[in-house]
Chains A and B, each alone.
Chain A
């Protein structure tokens, strides 16, 4: 990874020095070993701070939303999952391809700095740092699907099958059991909306949860409003979620959002597919539920 890190630094310095990009998104090192966090470099000098290491887990494609209204050219590093986020943004017309310089890295799987932070904090017990973060143990696309330059050697998908099994377990529950499961799961949610903020597919300018006139979803932290929040979020993700796992990773109370996202991806694939979100960039490509086809299934969904 040292080598990749050095290469990224070189590329970023070159692009910034030549004025090919105005901003280069990558990572820098914090004060501790397990602390790697996003960096927006604006000069070749800033680029000297760039690192890419086993904690470079954040999906930087989300940060592109901050730049969508300008004309600035942006360089950024993407792993497999993050690169699918770029396709999400391109398909959603949030960005144009010519404003991006994409450095893809074939990803061996990352550790989660947030989890490391929690373990060290003294505030939580009985949690351990996995060699690979949860999201990386369920990653079907470790190799970038869109890039201008590719670094590292191709990786095999890292799919443990655990998540699939969990989804099946929920599918097999009786309706009452399932309702109970969701009720209990979502009762913990503190409705901070971090899952939305971290999500590249949540790119609406005014989110339905922020709409006040009328207010579609109540702001009380109770069973009804929590379930409503998660139901709406889920439907907005169907066929659009690129399974980068950031929502679940950032959630401060460990809501298993990826179970829901996997189920959505599975159903969309079954009923409207074959389809997987954000795996191939085509001019004017659209997510499965944004196009109408006579062959679409009438069953199951909704």
Chain B
């Protein structure tokens, strides 16, 4: 089997970075996220391949928080599109975990299937190669397995497996992966190493049946009750790797300007505000309900699997201790005859 020797890691990242922007899990100040390998300051920033995961998800690589779409010029009633900003620069995501790789699958489904193709997303996605880092030691808030994901088999072009030894097993999965592996073939070794055993999960979730049960729970008192302490701050949706809502807005200076899109969140009042002044989700209850129904029911109905990947970030970041695992449990326990 192919082995990536740990002491070759930096050489390989440097080599890959010659032809693409390589995003790696990295510490930054007292936070962490996926950042370009080239921008790393080795004195203050650490590559975090050996950590469980990073705090800020890699979502912004394929779906930037703010994205300029096209520039426009208006003359009377006519609008001319001057330039479209599709970004097809090659990029590599190195060291993503299975949960976050699943989140990319979610976004692929949303942005590329069912007759809708988002050309901006597609331009980036077609030029992105994913190298995932298999997980063997789930953290305290991880529950990917409960959401139907095998943390040791991430959906990726290449999988690396930390043997705990001197190297990573390097497993090529797709043609795109083969092209990349070929570029660094001389830096990989041929050796036999054993992947570790997956350690047990500390957080366990039984998702089976939840989507079906939620169908009859739209008006259930549980939403009022569970949402009481939610502050609608939106942190959960912004740290979530799979939340993908956006708003399209415009900036104009006189007759010229551009359209851009930016992340949005169903936790915000203005998200569901209507042009006529109404708002179908006027209070925390409706917005909170929407978040969980989208994650656990609507998405599953449309795509066959949930929009929560079990990464646990929202649990860590929620300032008021709202916990999606608890919500799933409460849904399962709820009496639907009320």
Q: Do A and B originate from a single complex?
A: yes
| Across-interface contacts of B251 in A (CB, < 8 A) | 218, 220
Tell me whether B30 and A113 are in contact (CB under 8 A): no
Contact, CB under 8 Å: B52 / A198: no
Q: Which of B140, B232, B233, B239 contacts A120 (CB 8 A)?
A: B140
A170-187, CB < 8 A from B: none
Q: In the complex, which of the residues A31, A35, A124, A220 contacts B262, with contact meaning CB atoms closer than 8 Å?
A: A220
Which of chain A's residues 93-148 have a Cβ closer than 8 Å to chain B? 113-114, 117-118, 120-127
| Alpha-carbon distance between A66 and B32 when the two chains are bound, in angstroms | 34
Q: Which of A31, A219, A222, A246 has the most CB of B within 10 A?
A: A219
The reply to whether A38 and B229 form a contact with Cβ atoms under 8 Å apart is yes
Contact of A192 among B234, B273, B321 (CB under 8 A): B234
List the B side residues contacting A122 at CB < 8 Å.
51-53, 139-140
Q: Is B136 an interface residue (CB 8 A)?
A: no
- In the bound complex, how far is the Cα of B51 from the Cα of A127, in angstroms? 14
B321 close to A30 (CB less than 8 A): yes
A127 touches B30 (CB 8 A): yes
B31 touches A197 (CB 8 A): no
- Which B residues are in CB contact (< 8 Å) with A40? 228-229
Q: How far is the CB of B278 from chain A (nearest CB, A)?
A: 14
Is there contact, CB below 8 Å, between B228 and A249? no
Once bound together, how far apart are the Cα atoms of A114 and B55, in whole Å?
A: 13
Q: Size range of the interface on A? A: 35 or more
Complex: A266 Cα to B295 Cα, angstroms: 45
In the complex, chain A residues whose CB is within 8 Å of the CB of B263 = 221
B270 and A210 contact, CB distance less than 8 A: yes
Tell me the minimal C-beta distance from B64 to chain A in angstroms.
Answer: 8
Known contacts A193-B234, A197-B231; A218/B249 CB under 8 A: yes
B54 in contact (CB, < 8 A): yes
Task: Tell yes or no: B317 within 8 A of A by CB.
Answer: yes
- 16 contacts across the A-B interface (CB closer than 8 A): A37-B229, A37-B321, A58-B319, A62-B231, A118-B316, A120-B140, A121-B140, A124-B32, A126-B30, A188-B31, A197-B233, A198-B233, A219-B66, A249-B319, A253-B31, A253-B56
**Other A-B pairs, 7, CB within 8 Å; known A117-B316, A123-B32, A194-B235:** A117-B315, A118-B55, A121-B140, A124-B30, A194-B231, A218-B249, A220-B66
Task: Give chain A's interface residues, CB within 8 Å of chain B.
Answer: 30-31, 35-40, 58, 62-63, 66, 113-114, 117-118, 120-127, 188, 190-194, 197-198, 210, 212, 215, 218-222, 246, 249-250, 252-254
